[in-house]
Each structure stands twice: as C-alpha cells, then as structure tokens.
Amino acid sequence: MDRVEDALRMRLKKIKTGLSRGLGGLCALLLGMQTAVAAKTEGYQDPFVAGMQHYAKESQLTSVAAYAEEVQQRVRNEGYIGPELPIPPLEKAAEGVYTITGALMWATKENFGLNNNISFVEFEDGIMVYNAGPNPVVAYSAHKQIKRITDKPVKWVVIENNQGHANLGASYWWDVGVRHIYSQEFATKDFNKAFDRGVERGVLRGDEALYAPARNMTAKYTTFKDRAEIDVGGGETVELRYFGEAHTRGSTVAFVPSKKLLFTGDLGYADRMIAVFPYTNTHDWMGAFERMRAYAGEDALVIPGHGGPSTMAKVAEDTYEYLKYMRDESLELIRAGKGVDEALKIDQSQFAWRPVYAQTYKGNARKIFNDVLRHLPAEEKDDN
C-alpha cells in the first residue's frame, strides 16, 4: 500500500483547496485506501475521491461532495496525480530520438510492468510516442522525462501490438489530450478482448495503484489494416506498416524515412531471448521480418521491441537467425521421424547468455517444432 499512500499525500499537496485536513480528511484517506484494495474485485475508483465521496454521504455536506467531484475531474484532466516512478532514464539514440529501455525480463512489481520500450521522436509539429506504457503511472513518469527534454506537446501515440505493456497506459495519454492513438486492427481487437485480464494481472501482482486506474481506450484508437501514414509537420512523415503475424497476431512497425529510423515492435529483439506463446506464429514471423528488413534497409537505426537501440544486423541475429536455426533443427528432427519431445534436446547453449533464456528455451523449442510441422507440405506430413 506504500504507493497508494504516497499518491494520496501528493494529491493533498498538489490539489489546492480550502478543505480542512482534520478528521474528515483522515477518514477519507483511510476509506480511500480500503477502496484501492477492493478495486481488485469491484472495479477501480480513485482512492482519495472514493473516500471523500463516502465522507460526503455520511456527513451530508454538499461542499464535500462538490469537492470530491472537482478532484475527480482534476485527476482525469491530469491523467495522473502522484509521484513519478523511478523508471529507467531516456537514452538519446539520435538527434530528436530517445528511448526508455525496459527491463530485459518479465513484468514484475519491481519494474512496474515496464519490460518493453517506450520511445519518442521530436518533430516540427510535436512529439510521437511509440508505446503507451504498461499502466497510466508509468506513462505519466515517461511523460515527465519527455517534458524535461522538450516543451513540445505529445500529439501521436503508436502502439506496437495487443499486449498490456504496450496498451494499458493509453488512458493517460488520452486524458492529457492526445487524440491520435494508432494500432493495427488485429492488435486492437485482441487487446480489447484481453483488457480485463491485463489489468487483473497487474492488480494481482500487487500493483493496484498502477494498474487499476487504466481504462480501455480501444474505442478511441485510430486503427489500420496494412498501412497508415502520419503527417508530423516539416515535410516529415511516420509510416506505419503491418507485415504479418509474428510474436503476436497484429504488430505495428513504425518507420521514419527522414531519419532512417525503425521501430520494430516485437518483430525484433536485441540482447534478449525471444519468447513465443501459444498465439505466436513463428512461421510467419520469419516472413514478416524479411519484409520489414527489405522495407527499412540494412542501414536503419533500429529500436527493437526489447533491448536498446541497435542495428538491423544485430536485431536480425538475435531474432531472425534464432528462429531460422530452430526451424532448421526442427525440420531435421521431423524428417528423421522424431516427435516434439526431441525438440527439447536441440542444442541452444549458444543462446544461454540471453536474459530469460531459462524461462523460454523449452517452450520456444516446442512451439517452433509444432509450427514447422504444421506448415510442412501434405506429403511430408503423411510420411511423418
């Protein structure tokens, strides 16, 4: 509950009113903290506002009820009011290009759910942010860092895929005035279905103060099927492309031609083991990567979905070449009449240095083997 208490104290400092901080304020504080815990099962309401509303009802004081409504509107307008989280600092990748490299591991309470990247590019007319963040509080904290570098407004947010760590911060950006949030149509549909589960996972991890305020903003997204283009002023554009299924069903790649800058989303990893899930299409991932690589060129500055700023060669080595190696090894096993359990014996020791290797290599082997088997020509399947 420490984060909840800190957030409440900050609200009391930041929101200037004449309300007494006596017994009524204390009751509001305690009742609001109880509401934050109840949010796990009953849906979220800002703990301070909830406490003040309860106090207004008990005391029958219309001034308190009006204050609670005013605070609620203030919180909504600000996106978040509370302490900035100690997330990793922005790293300058090129002129006007910055990225926060998330933890090279799973989302945890300790990393606030930030295990992918949040990046921004400064243009003549404003700022484009790539990835909304894993929750509104991380989004707020990233925005605070952006504001220390530039006073230009954030005008566009691009979301890499359907996963929570890319989407659950979107309500913050909407609340602070961003009206152009882009997402590929499959990603939007898949995230919309999984929204409740995404919030629940964060809350059950003990981060209700971070995740419970998130709202499903998919109805406000600007969705596209295969491509979209953003006019960012000064004759520059951002090109959004969908190259096919890969780590997830819908992935948005963003390319800035004027800067030769590529955001791969989870089509590309650097210095981290890739992770495949039941919904991952490892067969099509390779084809999608090939199309992305041909589109952006070998000399592009690459900001991958996981890992720091990199090159096309490095991201290809850590993503595409791994998939190719595992595909070739699986194909050899299949043609020798071996089953999926034999895939666990594929020698992956050359990749053991990569973060989350121990947690992923077995699942990767099984899924890639099954994907290879599924895409074999019919006559080869019959032989096996």
Three-class SS of the chain: CHHHHHHHHHHHHHCCCCCCCCHHHHHHHHHHHHHHHHHHHHCCCCHHHHHHHHHHHHHCCHHHHHHHHHHHHHHHHHCCCCCCCCCCCCEEEECCEEEECCCCCCCCCCCCCCCCCEEEEECCCCEEEECCCCCHHHHHHHHHHHHHHCCCCEEEEECCCCCHHHHCCHHHHHHCCCCCEEEEHHHHHHHHHHHHHHHHHHHHCCCHHHHCCCCCCHHHCEEECCEEEEEEECCEEEEEECCCCCCCCCCCEEEEHHHCEEEEEEEEECCCCCCCCCCCCHHHHHHHHHHHHHHHCCCCEEEEEECCCEEHHHHHHHHHHHHHHHHHHHHHHHHCCCCHHHHHHCCCHHHCCCCCHHHHHHHHHHHHHHHHHHCCCHHHHHHC
Q: How far is CA 64 from CA 26, 46, 341, in A?
A: 13, 16, 65
**Least confident interval from 21-30, 82-91, 300-309, 315-324:** 21-30
Tell the residue number behind the tokens 């530039």, with chain if given.
150
Residue 190 predicted with pLDDT over 90: yes
pTM of the model: 0.84
Q: What is the pLDDT of residues 145-175, one digit of tens each?
A: 999 999 999 999 999 999 999 999 999 999 9
Looking at per-residue pLDDT, the higher value among 321 and 3 belongs to 321
Domain layout of the chain by residue ranges: 2-78, 91-312, 324-383
Cα–Cα distance for residue pair 349/34, rounded to 1 Å: 49
Residue with the bigger pLDDT between 240 and 38: it is: 240
pLDDT value at position 255?
Answer: 98
Mean pLDDT of the chain: 88
User: Which pLDDT tens digit goes with each residue over 272-302?
Assistant: 999 999 999 999 999 999 999 999 999 999 9
User: What is the model's pLDDT at position 229?
Assistant: 98
pLDDT band at 368 (very low <50, low <70, confident <90, very high): very high
- CB–CB of 35/45 below 8 Å? yes
Higher pLDDT, 15 or 71: 71
Which stretch of 13-27, 52-66, 134-148, 233-247 has the lowest confidence by average pLDDT?
13-27
What pLDDT score was predicted for residue 29?
37
pLDDT of residue 9: 46
Asked whether the predicted pLDDT for residue 369 surpasses 50, the reply is yes
CATH 1.10.730.10 fits 91-312, yes or no: no
Confidence of residue 377 (pLDDT cuts 50, 70, 90): confident
